A and B are shown apart, each in its own frame.
Chain A
């Protein structure tokens, strides 16, 4: 015979009778509190580590920001020039002898 919905209900009723809630063991609460404390300790140390990391990252970015904002252009470093024209002008200044060399007139051959 095929079991029907009523048979299933009867089985569930019998199960409710057969399967009562167990009594909690005496160490239920102590174990629960020790688990809570263990989780809290873990969370606390993780948070402390995260805070330390965050502080270090902020300090590093601040230092980097200060470093990049300082004017420390040097003539020897070509990367500090704002433009190519500026770099070219600096490399070939008006005083440079090979561009503005003294003009020598050799008049001996004409005479």
Chain B
């Protein structure tokens, strides 16, 4: 826990300074999680603010401060779900905004600016984002929390309110689907290299 129970209780009682402290303690962690969940840096702060906004208006529903962290993660997951659902609807429209030539130019410009390390990092990000984009929002969120945020099974149990076995099954299936997408990406790259 990054904050003590007393602070949570004070925030529940309507203490704005206490709420401010909670946000300051958790915002970086939440920003990190959302960055990995939604993969659009320009919208990360907006979604994070939505999480804390929901926290502010639902804090009085939290019965025990001990479950604060899983609860905050649940709010984060829900906000990310909502964002990804909206995003999926907008995606086709956005892609049609840019012509192929414009996309090539933008890529070249970005590539020219970045140094080798940054290019590698952005390539990794793009690959993982593409893999996670190929599976459902539910799989994406579960894998991000487990594999990228490093949450334990116990923590995930509390967030998802399901038992360990059910969680393991869901994780296994999600990983299998990502692996399948990974195979697809590798297959597409191999003929390109050969050609």
Contacts and interface: CB of A to CB of B under 8 A. Distances in A.
Nearest to A43: B57
A28 B51 CA distance: 13
Interface string A29-67: 101100110010000000000000000000000000000
Interface in A7-43: 7-9, 11-12, 14-25, 28-29, 31-32, 35-36, 39
B105 to A, nearest CB: 24
Contacts of A25: 45
A24 B182 CA distance: 32
Interface string B108-135: 0000000000001110110110010000
A3 B35 contact: no
A77 interface: no
A29 B57 CA distance: 16
B36 A8 contact: no
Nearest to A38: B53
Contacts of A23: 28
B56 A36 contact: yes
Interface residues of B, number: 36
Sorting the interface of chain A by its residue count into under 10, 10 to 19, 20 to 34 or 35 or more gives: 20 to 34
Given A5-B175, A5-B179, A20-B32, A28 B49 contact: yes
Contacts of B60: none
A8 B179 contact: yes
Contacts of B41: 22
A13 to B, nearest CB: 9
A4 to B, nearest CB: 8
A3 B23 contact: no
Given A19-B36, A31-B49, A36-B56, A3 B182 contact: yes
8 contacts: A5-B175, A8-B175, A11-B128, A15-B125, A19-B35, A19-B148, A24-B27, A28-B27
